[in-house]
Chain A
C-alpha cells in the first residue's frame, strides 16, 4: 500500500513538472514565433487587417499602471492590518472579525469583486474617480477604480506574509527595544518593520503577479478599451480614463474574443508569462536573502 501511495506522489510530481514544462515550452515556441519587437512599441489600432492592427504597447502600459496602483494601495493597508493583528489585536472579537474579513476577501472570486466595485464606484460620491456623463451618470470604470479593486486581490497576500514575519520575530527582540527605553510604536517602526521588510517584499511581489494576471476586473472595471484619457490633466486624465491590459488583450485577440488575431494573443501571453515568472523569480531571491538574515533563536 505504502509503495503505491509513494508511487502516486512521485507520478504526480513528475506530471506537474511536465505540465509546467509544456506551458513554458509551448508559450516560448508560440511567443518567439510571433513576438516581433514592433509589437512592443506600437499601440493597437482598430482594423480588420491584422497587419495594420498594431501592437500591444497600450496593454503593457495598462498592466503596469494597474499593478502600480494596486500595489501602492495594498502595501500600506496590508502592512498596517498585519501590524495591528500581530501587535495589538484588541479587542479580541475585533481581531477575529478583521481576520475573517481578510480571509473572505482572499476567497472572493475577482469577478465578484469587479461587479461589486462597479456598483460602488458608480455612486456619484466616487464620481471623481472616473468619467461622468452629461446626465450625471457615473461610468465607474477607470484605472483608478480598477486599481482600487485590484488592491483587494493583493491585500490578503501582503497581510499574510507580513503577519507571518512579525510573528516569527521572538518576543525578546521586542523586549530588547523596550529595555532600551523605546516605546511600542518606535519599536514597530525601527525594529519590526525593518525585520519584516523582506516578507513585505515577497507579499507585494506575489500580489503584483496576481494583479497582472487578473482579467475579470479589467474587463468589467477598466473597460478593456484602448487608452482613453478623461479630461485634459495629463496623468490624472489617464488614470480616470479607461484602458486595457495584457490579459484583456490576450482575451480579445484570442479565438475566444472578437479580435481573431491568435498570433498576437500568443505574443502578448508570452510577455505576460515572462512578467509573472520574473516576479516569482524576484520572490525567490528575496526569500533566499531572508533566510540568511533571520538568525534569532527562541
Chain B
C-alpha cells in the first residue's frame, strides 16, 4: 500500500494563475505579526538541505481528519501524507491548529478531556486506533516547544524510554551503547560524553532540546514530531538543530511545526500551510514559497498576515 497512493493534496485550485513571488521584499510587515517571521522568505536564500531524497515511503497519513475541542473544530478535514526521508513542515498563523494536528498523530490530543476526533490516521497503513497507545507513542515520538528534560542525569533521560519497556529492568551497562548511540544521532554526544551523570536540567537550553531529541530517538521511532522546537532557543542552537533535523530525515519521517517561515524554507521538503484549522495548501517547499497556488498561502508567505 505504501508508496502507491498519491498524496491526497487538498484544496489546490489549479486554474488560478500561479503568481510568482520573486522578491516580495521589505514592504511586508503590515500588521503586528509574530516576531518569528520578521521578514519574508526569499526563494533564492540558501537551503540547508540537499535536494529531496527521491520518493520517500509514506509512513503516516491522515484521512479527512478533524479534531474538535468541545464543538469547536481546531482541525478541519485534513488529509496529509508523512513520508520517510523528508521533512514535512506545518506552517500557519498561531491558533490555526498546527499543534493540535501534530498531537493527534501520537494521540496525545486524547489527554484533553474535551477533544474528539473524526477521520482516520494510519501508520504504515494500519489504523493507529488499532495499536496500543504506548506502542504508538514509541513509534511516533514527540519533541516539545519548551525543552523539558526530566530532573535526572543525562544518561537516565536518554535511557528513560528503554527502561521498564522490557519486563526485566535492563542494567546500566546494557543500556550504555544505546544511550551513546542516541546521543550521537542527536549531535550531543561529544558535549556530554565526559559526564553522563550530569543533571540534565543544568545543560544549556539548546543542549536540553537536543537531549530531548536524543531521548525521543532512543525509543527507536519511525516518525519524529517536533512542535516549534527552536522557538525558545538562540540562533546558534537553532542552526545546530536544523542541521540535525535534516540529517535525521534519512532514518525517520520528520514533521515539524514552525512559525518561522525561513526555517520551514531552509529545512522542509514538503510544506503544509494551515489556516483556521484547514490545510489550505500542501506541496513541495519550492512551490509553497515560490509559486503558491492559493491566494491565502501567497499572502502568508509574503508576510501579509501573521
A residues in contact (CB < 8 Å) with B: 170, 172-173, 175-183, 186, 190-191, 194-195, 292-298
Most-contacted residue by chain B among A176, A191, A195, A296 (CB, 10 A): A176
Nearest chain B CB to A200 CB, angstrom units: 13
Find out whether the CB atom of A181 lies under 8 angstroms from the CB atom of B138: yes
When the two chains form their complex, are residues A191 and B146 in contact, meaning their CB atoms are under 8 A apart? no
A180 near B108 with CB under 8 A, answer no
- Cβ A181 vs Cβ B137 within 8 A: yes
B contact residues, total (Cβ < 8 Å): 31
Distance in angstroms between the alpha carbons of A175 and B108 in the assembled complex: 8
B194 within 8 Å of A by Cβ? no
Given A175-B108, A180-B215, A181-B134, the answer on whether A293 and B141 have CB atoms closer than 8 Å is no
Q: A176–B216 Cα gap in the complex (Å)?
A: 9
Tell me if B42 is interfacial: C-beta within 8 Å of chain A: no
Query: Which residue in chain B gives the minimum CB-CB distance to A180?
Result: B161
A-B contact count, CB below 8 Å?
78
Residue of A nearest to B232 (CB): A297
In the complex, the answer to whether A297 meets B146 with C-beta atoms within 8 Å is yes
Enumerate B137-187 residues with CB–CB distance to A below 8 Å: 137-138, 141-142, 144-146, 148, 150-152, 160-161, 163-165
* Chain B proximity of A175: nearest CB distance (Å): 6
CB-contact partner of B137 in A178, A186, A194, A298, under 8 A:
A178
- For B199, list chain A residues within 8 Å (CB): 293
Complex contact A194–B150 (CB within 8 A): yes
B164 engages A191 (CB within 8 Å): no
Please indicate the chain A residues that have their CB under 8 angstroms from the CB of B152 in the complex: 194
* A177 proximity list for chain B (CB < 8 A): 150, 160
* Pairs A-B, 3 closest by C-beta atoms: A181-B138, A181-B134, A179-B142
Question: Does chain A have a CB within 8 A of B212?
Answer: yes
Expressed in whole angstroms, the minimum distance between the Cβ of B151 and any Cβ of chain A is 4
* B106 adjacent to chain A (CB < 8 Å): yes
| A298 to B148 alpha-carbon distance, docked (Å) | 10
A186 touches B164 (CB 8 A): yes
Q: A172-B148, A176-B144, A191-B151 are in contact. Are A183 and B108 (CB under 8 A)?
A: no
